[in-house]
A and B are shown apart, each in its own frame.
Chain A
Amino acid sequence: MNLILIATIAALVIPMYEAAQDNDIWQKMLAFSSIATKASIVILIVSVLRDDWMIGVVGVIILSVGNAALMLLAQILKRLNEL
């Protein structure tokens, strides 16, 4: 199980590197969406690993709310490019 967690963290680092080196804002947004999903999945894995219901609830809420934040930000950035 520890190995699995290390592997997921390695997968989390790839989009972070991408967000740091790319200069296009939409590529950064893609990396952000990828990281948001992956982080909440890692929270879920940890909650199952520890058999902790509370962390699991938080993981599910972050999973559904983080995506809403992304959509809001994408709409605002789109308006920004129009002007």
Chain B
Amino acid sequence: MCWPTVRVVEVTVNDSYLYAIILLMPLTAFMVIFQANPYHALVIRGILGAVSALVYAVLGAADVALTEALVGTMLAITLYAIAVRSSLVLRLGILREDEPEAENLDLKRLIADLHSITSKKHLRLELVPYEDRHALQQALWKKEIHATCSRLCQPEEARYETTIRVEYLYEILKTELSSPITSLSYLNLPTLEEKH
């Protein structure tokens, strides 16, 4: 057992497998770059972590390999998964009285449309039910939710109105959503001093 030995790895003809192992690292790195879905990219980042730990260990840097496996793969991926999960979300506030049930076909279809759009952009759609219109407005003003969707008081050809306070979400939905059930509007909220 010889602990702190410094080894200089010399690549000779005998060590030709080294080239094959090192070649794996840029391969997986390109796989990470060309991945569109953030969760898939995270899993492939894990593969990159395993491969780079292998490369570091084979080249003789045992400490770097250990750090890569513990921090770079385990900690970073777990934290990133939590961060991506809580940030890539569209929180839509609805009234509890018209929660999507079997008889409320309009809202059900609307929610399905929204779901297909958000999943195309890798967003999650989260429905937050509120008791009455006042609580819904309050939640939008306090920035607890990104958008509200409620039944109009005097129905015209659109029976629901959707109000969005995030500009780029509004841009996306304006181009993608072609449902006649709802009208879309953008609400520009002033930036609040206090944090919620």
Contact = CB atoms under 8 A, between A and B. Distances in A.
A80 B53 CA distance: 28
B62 A54 contact: yes
Given A13-B24, A58-B66, A65-B70, A80 B57 contact: no
Nearest to B53: A62
Contacts of A5: 17
Contact of A46 (B39, B57, B126): B57
B78 A76 contact: yes
Given A28-B40, A58-B65, A76-B82, A69 B24 contact: no
B172 interface: no
A12 B70 contact: no
A14 interface: no
Interface residues of A, number: 44
Contact of A55 (B2, B14, B62, B73): B62
B78 A6 contact: no
Interface residues on B, range: 35 or more
B7 interface: yes
Interface in B11-59: 14, 16-17, 20-21, 24, 27-28, 31, 39-40, 42-44, 46-47, 50-51, 53-54, 57-58
A42 B43 contact: no
A43 B17 CA distance: 12
Interface in B54-97: 54, 57-58, 60, 62, 65-66, 69-70, 73-74, 77-78, 81-82, 85
Given A13-B24, A28-B40, A43 B78 contact: no
Interface string A17-48: 00110010100110110011001101100110
Contacts of B66: 58, 61-62
Contacts of B178: none
B165 interface: no
A20 to B, nearest CB: 5
Given A5-B17, A76-B82, A77-B81, 11 more contacts: A2-B17, A9-B21, A20-B31, A23-B40, A32-B47, A35-B51, A43-B54, A46-B58, A52-B7, A55-B60, A73-B77
B123 to A, nearest CB: 12
Given A25-B43, A32-B47, A35-B50, A58 B28 contact: no
A16 B78 contact: no
A70 B46 CA distance: 9
